[in-house]
Structure 1
Amino acid sequence: MASEKKITELPGASTDSSDTEIETRVPGGLSEKKLLRKLDLRLLPAVSILYLLSFLDRSNVANARIEGLTTDLGMTGNQYLTGLTLYFIGYVLFEIPCNVVLKRTTPKFWLPTLTLVWGIVATLMGVTQNLSGFFAVRFFLGVTESGLFPGVVYYLSMWYKRSERQYRISLFFSCASLAGAFGGILAWGIAHMRHVGGYNGWRWIFILEGLLTIVVALIAYFFISNYPVSVSWLSDDERSYINARLKADGDATNDEQFSWAEVWVACKDVKCWLYGFAFHTMSLPLYTLSLFLPTIIKDMGYTAAQSQLLTIPPYALATVFTVVVAVVSEKYGRRAPFVIFTSSLAIIGYIILLSNTNPKARPGVSYVGTFFAAIGIYPSVALVLSWPANNVSGQTKRATANAMQISIGNCGAVIGTQLYRPATSPRYVLGHSFALGYLVANIFVVTTLWWILNRENKKKSEYLAEHPATKGFHDSEEDLAQGDRHPRWRFNM
């Protein structure tokens, strides 16, 4: 972005001739690099653990299914799909309200509270006795998990500069694929508890993983931090330094009150809708893969136990790929070309899956397709989800844009939960074809967004060339109120 003025507010620090470079020595002798490492170690593990548990508790139903969930509850395959759909309906309906609550409370209260409540709901899944109970628990699991991801994205935007957020959000999101790998080996082990206490193995998957979430949530009240201005583990010099670097970079230090007018500003911005559609076109492939991969692999001819274990390698490789792509994307300061590249890898994966006309005769071919799908989908989603945190200003508008993105995006997941019907096994032509089509649409949406962002940056450059005396982003309350509409704000592409 673009504040063009030097950072003179840093206590004890100096600036060089660049308008955007900060002296890397923090008062008290701590380097900026070490300060960032301190923030990373304090903030990222805490929220990443919560997100890992969130993704584990929403996707372990896929592991439970092949351990007898549908048989014990007397569900048809299509009724099971309805339960998956209800989760995302609850998720979408309560996305924006949950972010409004975060804005009006604090992360230290709201994030652990959400985790505690969904942990209780997830545990209840293990004692569900009928179809109605399954439907109710899935819906309320979606409601209680809806606020975590957009809340954390907004939370990180209050700690890190724009150029630093994408890598952190991608690391945070990599826990989604890590949860897939972790969930596979957990399900394989827990399934051996079948008949313990008179419960089948699938019940213990929900009960033990839900109880783990509850325990972590209670501890989280002590390890989740609030914003830089109030945490006790920063010195006064460090707090002042963080405040100054954020003030020069964006709006994170503004004392902005919640405003419905800013919510409406976000709703009128076409870019906010495109961020949403960029995730919409990725959420269908993302959730169909995470919710159906164990079943897809099992229908290649493997046993339930083998299928649980075979989900681990694609997810593990996707985790590594997500981090690597995030690092390279951050280095070059680009999002769109990397999303297009990784989405293209996923397209190759679904072409392989669709081209194999007999998965049971040639399971290795389809299994290779799942690798391409995973290593393409997860990095793309991570990059897409980090975009609004980098590009939207001020605070209420950004919180709204983040919530809009997840709400619009998860409508794709709602559709996806109805596609992998038992009648289409083992090729799943309907589901794979939709995923392939959505990935192609993702490339179109991302290309359009790239073009719009580039066009707006050019317009701002032309305006500044004609009005070189234009004030900096932080020169007045009026300038701050313009947010990302300010002429000196630059969009990351």
Structure 2
Amino acid sequence: MATSDGNVSGKEEGNLSQEERVEKDLHVAAEEGVAATDSRGVSVAEFDREAERKLRNKIDWMIVPTVSVLYLFCFIDRSNIGNARLAGLEEDLGMKGNDYNMLLSIFYISYCLFEIPSNLACKWLGPGWVIPILCLGFGISSLGMAFVRDLPAACGVRFLLGVFEAGMMPGMSYYLSRWYRRSELVFRISLFVVMAPLAGAFGGLIASGLLSLSNIGSVTAWRMIFLVEGIITIGLSLISFVTLTDRPETARWLTAEEKTLAIARVKSERLAQTAVIDKTDRKKLWLGFWNPVVLSTSFIFLLNNITVQGLAFFAPTIVATIYPQYTTVQKQLYTVPPYVVGALFEVGIPLLSWRMDKRQVFLILTAPLTMMGYIMFLASTDPKVRYAATFFTAISCFAVGALSNAQVAAQVVSDTARSVSLGTNMMFGALGGLIATWSYLSWDGPDYPIGNGLNLAASSMLFVITTVTLFWMKADNKKREKLDVSKELEGLSQAQIESLEWKHPGWRWKP
């Protein structure tokens, strides 16, 4: 039994050792129907740090590699169209003017529409099933791109690709939130999001290698890129049906004690919740979306995605304008180094965020270097300066994906609200990607002042909004400190208290 605060009641057992007390508290905290925090969100259980470290390492090795590899090919299958463009896609499909931009936009229309529905499906069916199904779907879609003969067919395939890829990033972030604490989540998200810049590097290497071949069967030129990468993705999706464990309770590779610890430690951060994976609640769904910090962070991700997706789709084109005399393969290879540098910072920044349990300040710090990169693009036409600018933009912009997803996950309480908050963040991000598809227009080349100016404006606005949000969070937390939690909760049932989400008087924003 537990009190309304979640504290265990009953006869004191003074003869229990400290170790026995910790073990007993863990089982109580993990028990279904019992809250694992008091009314101010303080855990009712103590945790053995060494046991947690061992469990976390075990989860890292069993969970993270699978989602990372899947996301690598998710991003490759999305962005390989930039490599295909250099290899003659537009000429073969009879594309003219801004047809390429339209083809990119089709993807983001479906991508945006299916973000939240896909993550709700993850909540209802379980990520262990939904993520492999999505992976299989976009693998088949990528494969289909190798056989399109005109622009309408290519648009149809890209629309389907957006349907299946929509749920990957929010679904994986939601999946990891079932296993990790708030502070730990950002670094684990970064370990799969880092595959975005690596996909740019790896995709460029694959493309340059495939384009050195004359054909694969009857498939030639740029079509080989989609053929090979689609087949690899399909194979990986089939494997993931077996390797992707849905949640701690179903993990055959965890002992009973490890399962108890895995559940208890996640539940201990969820204010007033009596289950880690709760039943779907309409009020929680709404408050997962209608949350001031979630909406602010989602808009930040929209601004950031203008840059990230712009780099993914147009980096080969930008490099081609910087070094027009180089061969197609050389241009592909020149897109690799900025992505490699970006990947290092993509992991390094979230690692610091994890250790400090801070996200908002790091979101603020990502903006200046991105701003510097686009100032260099606008201020100079020197090839070396402009190529250096691609490094500055890549250094920090990719880290926002992990930071923003971890932030919206940290600013809600329940599993239900988290599925919506992550879907919302990615929906806004998709809108940023849609804007990015029209940021570099054919008639704006070769210097692209409009595209670069748009990215400078977006990164500058990101800097302002992240800073204002941080000050608001701190000010609102001070107001909440003055509330009498017991009085505010008086007369409410346990179900009503659980549904309060961020409106709970004991809640504090997590900057």
Is the TM value for this pair above 0.5? yes
Match of 2:363 among 339, 352, 363: 339
SS at match of 2:398: helix
Residue 285 of structure 1 corresponds to: 307
Residue 9 of structure 1 corresponds to: 25
Residue 372 of structure 2 corresponds to: 348
Residue 162 of structure 1 corresponds to: 182
Matches within 5 A, 1:171-186: 171-186=191-206
Q: Aligned AA for 2:239?
A: I
Residue 419 of structure 2 corresponds to: 399
Residue 470 of structure 1 and its aligned partner are, at CA, apart by: 8.0
Match of 1:215 among 216, 225, 235: 235
SS at match of 1:249: coil
Is the CA contact (8 Å cut-off) linking 1:419 and 1:430 kept in structure 2? yes
- Rounded to whole Å, the distance in 2 between the matches of 1:306 and 1:425 is 20
Residue 305 of structure 1 corresponds to: 329
- Rounded to whole Å, the distance in 1 between the matches of 2:7 and 2:445 is 61
Residue 106 of structure 1 and its aligned partner are, at CA, apart by: 1.6
- Rounded to whole Å, the distance in 2 between the matches of 1:196 and 1:230 is 42
- Rounded to whole Å, the distance in 1 between the matches of 2:111 and 2:195 is 19
SS at match of 1:423: helix
Q: 1:441 and 2:445 equivalent?
A: no
Is the CA contact (8 Å cut-off) linking 2:87 and 2:222 kept in structure 1? yes
Q: Aligned AA for 1:110?
A: V
Q: 1:294 to 1:255 in 2, by over 3 A?
A: closer
Residue 234 of structure 1 and its aligned partner are, at CA, apart by: 1.1
Q: Aligned AA for 1:275?
A: T
Residue 16 of structure 1 corresponds to: none
Is the CA contact (8 Å cut-off) linking 1:266 and 1:400 kept in structure 2? yes
- Rounded to whole Å, the distance in 2 between the matches of 1:382 and 1:252 is 28
Match of 1:314 among 315, 338, 354: 338
Residue 476 of structure 2 corresponds to: 456
Q: 1:387 to 1:61 in 2, by over 3 A?
A: same
Q: 1:264 and 2:282 equivalent?
A: no
Query: Mind listing any 5+ residue stretches in structure 1 that lack a counterpart?
Result: 14-18
Q: 1:222 to 1:448 in 2, by over 3 A?
A: same
- Rounded to whole Å, the distance in 1 between the matches of 2:277 and 2:229 is 39
Residue 20 of structure 1 and its aligned partner are, at CA, apart by: 5.6
Q: 1:281 to 1:12 in 2, by over 3 A?
A: closer
Residue 485 of structure 1 corresponds to: 503
Q: Aligned AA for 1:289?
A: L
Residue 18 of structure 2 corresponds to: none
Residue 136 of structure 1 corresponds to: 156
Using the size of structure 1 for normalisation, the TM-score is 0.91
Is the CA contact (8 Å cut-off) linking 2:45 and 2:268 kept in structure 1? no
Is the CA contact (8 Å cut-off) linking 1:4 and 1:488 kept in structure 2? no
My pick for the range that moved more, 110-119 or 168-177, is 168-177
- Rounded to whole Å, the distance in 2 between the matches of 1:111 and 1:252 is 26
Is the CA contact (8 Å cut-off) linking 1:159 and 1:252 kept in structure 2? no
SS at match of 2:345: helix
Is the CA contact (8 Å cut-off) linking 2:79 and 2:313 kept in structure 1? yes
Residue 4 of structure 1 and its aligned partner are, at CA, apart by: 9.4
Q: Aligned AA for 2:285?
A: V
- Rounded to whole Å, the distance in 1 between the matches of 2:214 and 2:473 is 54
- Rounded to whole Å, the distance in 1 between the matches of 2:282 and 2:26 is 33
Is the CA contact (8 Å cut-off) linking 2:128 and 2:245 kept in structure 1? yes
- Rounded to whole Å, the distance in 1 between the matches of 2:214 and 2:284 is 53
Q: Aligned AA for 2:501?
A: G
- Rounded to whole Å, the distance in 2 between the matches of 1:416 and 1:331 is 33
Is the CA contact (8 Å cut-off) linking 1:170 and 1:386 kept in structure 2? no
Task: Give the fraction of aligned pairs with identical amino acids, expressed as a percent.
Answer: 34
Query: Mind listing any 5+ residue stretches in structure 2 that lack a counterpart?
Result: 9-21, 30-41
SS at match of 1:193: coil
Q: 1:448 to 1:286 in 2, by over 3 A?
A: same
Match of 1:390 among 397, 407, 410: 410
Residue 24 of structure 1 and its aligned partner are, at CA, apart by: 5.3
Q: Aligned AA for 1:451?
A: F
SS at match of 2:98: helix
- Rounded to whole Å, the distance in 2 between the matches of 1:171 and 1:471 is 40
Residue 265 of structure 1 and its aligned partner are, at CA, apart by: 2.5
Residue 85 of structure 2 corresponds to: 65
Is the CA contact (8 Å cut-off) linking 2:306 and 2:458 kept in structure 1? yes
Q: 1:48 and 2:68 equivalent?
A: yes
Q: 1:467 to 1:111 in 2, by over 3 A?
A: closer
Is the CA contact (8 Å cut-off) linking 1:394 and 1:484 kept in structure 2? no
Q: 1:439 to 1:4 in 2, by over 3 A?
A: farther
Is the CA contact (8 Å cut-off) linking 1:252 and 1:395 kept in structure 2? no
- 1:262-300 Cα distance to aligned partner (Å, 9 max, x none): 222334333332122011111111100111001100111
- Cα RMSD between the aligned structures? 2.5
- Rounded to whole Å, the distance in 2 between the matches of 1:471 and 1:262 is 17
- Rounded to whole Å, the distance in 1 between the matches of 2:276 and 2:47 is 23
Residue 154 of structure 1 and its aligned partner are, at CA, apart by: 1.1
Is the CA contact (8 Å cut-off) linking 2:485 and 2:506 kept in structure 1? no
Residue 323 of structure 1 corresponds to: 347
- Rounded to whole Å, the distance in 2 between the matches of 1:111 and 1:321 is 27
Count of residues paired in the alignment? 478
- Rounded to whole Å, the distance in 1 between the matches of 2:425 and 2:363 is 16
